[in-house]
Amino acid sequence: MPREPARFGPRPTTPPATSRARVKPLTPASGAWRPGDDPGRRQFADVGGLELEGGGLLPAVTLAYETYGTLDADGRNAVLVLHALTGDSHVAGPAGPGHVTAGWWDDMVGPGRPIDTDKYFVVVPNVLGGCQGSTGPSSPAPDGRAWGARFPRVTTRDQVAAEIRLARALGITTWQLVAGSSMGGLRALEWAVMGPEAGVEVRGLAAIATSAQTGADQIAWSHPQLAAIRLDPGWHGGDYYDQPDGHGPHAGLAVARQIAHTTYRSAQELDTRFGRLPQGGEDPMVDGRYAVQSYLDHHGDKLARRFDANSYIVLTESMNTHDLGRDRGGVEQALTQITARTLVVAVDSDRLFPPAQAARIAAWVPQADDLRIITSPYGHDGFLIEFDQLGPIVRDFLEDLDVAERVRAQA
């Protein structure tokens, strides 16, 4: 099952003549992990061809994933953790060969942590359509070239269908917990419906800073992000993987990230943290930047160096398709089909996935606990920052699931 995908060509390294829009020079055309790169902790599973919800077929799908801990003999201590838009399978551990950043939920997953890898076998896949080892636009198509913009549209349900096949490949028939935040929460909710239909039990569900259905406001925020990438001359219609360093769609991807990052934080935090301060050494009255502009430039450049613009498009469009109630009688009816004991957590200052959307989940899932609210000035990113609040909530929920499992086993 674990394997190393075949190499399909080196990255070009010709330096650019110029750079654009405050993006540093020598940024690779894509920050995607490519076959032949150091795999780091990644493992790979071929899950076969996948018929897509919107029509068409992906002829061969590979999912990259990481595991932490050991699966019990009875296979009932497995936990699935699902990442957000620009996350990946590297949920915990340091940066290093194969991993340009440290684990994105390092305070949550590990020995003695809320999702305790001394107790649980944690599986973290890179999402279908992503750029860190799973099949996506930067992967080789059947003709050996990168898919690029030819990569088909995939939905949240397509992504979960691929992950269900990964569970089967790993021999997992029960998840003690499926946990996801933001985009990961969209998939976690679909898992709670699709998993049992496919014969994979979902005993516990943690839906954090997420929604049962993307709304017009969320789709509206995504629209200029997609346009920024597609209007970048370096996008080359999505076929930029053979471009020299510095000639990919870096400026467009950076602007997309800046727009998104504004929705990830709260107005209160930005005003308190930056106010109208100028960036050090610059004068906003003479073509200089305010500190908050420099902050957004930094995050845009950072993402352009580690992510792939086509994957950003594919995953953003997949989020736009998310509607748990599609062909299930509406959102409320779909939520009533979830049989898992459910934890729903919202961040009070979240303007991307407002608490009212989480409250809707908690109100309609039959076995949902009362909605839990994290108090934070950080907005949506509170799920990545407020571990002193989120950690105990998740730990207590898992302990309750364990107690219920022991009672059931003794009955």
Q: The tokens 């998840």 sit on which residue?
A: 175
Is 2:45 a contact under the CB 8 Å cutoff? yes
Residues that constitute the known binding site: 257, 381
Considering Cα of 364, then 370, then 406, then 390, what sign does the dihedral take?
positive
380 noted as active-site residue: yes
User: Which residue of the set 88, 116, 158, 350 is catalytic?
Assistant: 350
**What 3-state class would DSSP assign to 47?**
strand
Largest CA distance in the chain: 75
CB atoms within 10 A of CB 22: 14
Helix (H) or strand (E) holding 225: helix 216-230
User: Which residue of the set 138, 181, 182, 222 is catalytic?
Assistant: 182
327 noted as active-site residue: no
Which tokens is 340 given?
């898992």
Rg for the chain, CA atoms, rounded? 21
323 forms beta bridges with 213
The C-alpha atoms of residue 212 and residue 332 are separated, in whole angstroms, by 9
Is 405:176 a contact under the CB 8 Å cutoff? yes
Considering Cα of 384, then 386, then 387, then 392, what sign does the dihedral take?
negative
Residues that constitute the known binding site for substrate: 257, 381
Region of 55 (left: φ > 0; alpha: ψ -120 to 50; beta: rest) is: left
Quickly list DSSP for 270-319: HHHHHTTPBPTT--GGGT--BHHHHHHHHHHHHHHHHS-HHHHHHHHHHH
Which tokens is 48 given?
């076969």
Considering Cα of 157, then 134, then 10, then 302, what sign does the dihedral take?
positive
Residues 224-238: b if buried by 16+ CB within 10 A, e if exposed: ebbebbbebebbbeb
The C-alpha atoms of residue 260 and residue 274 are separated, in whole angstroms, by 18
Active site residues: 182, 350, 380
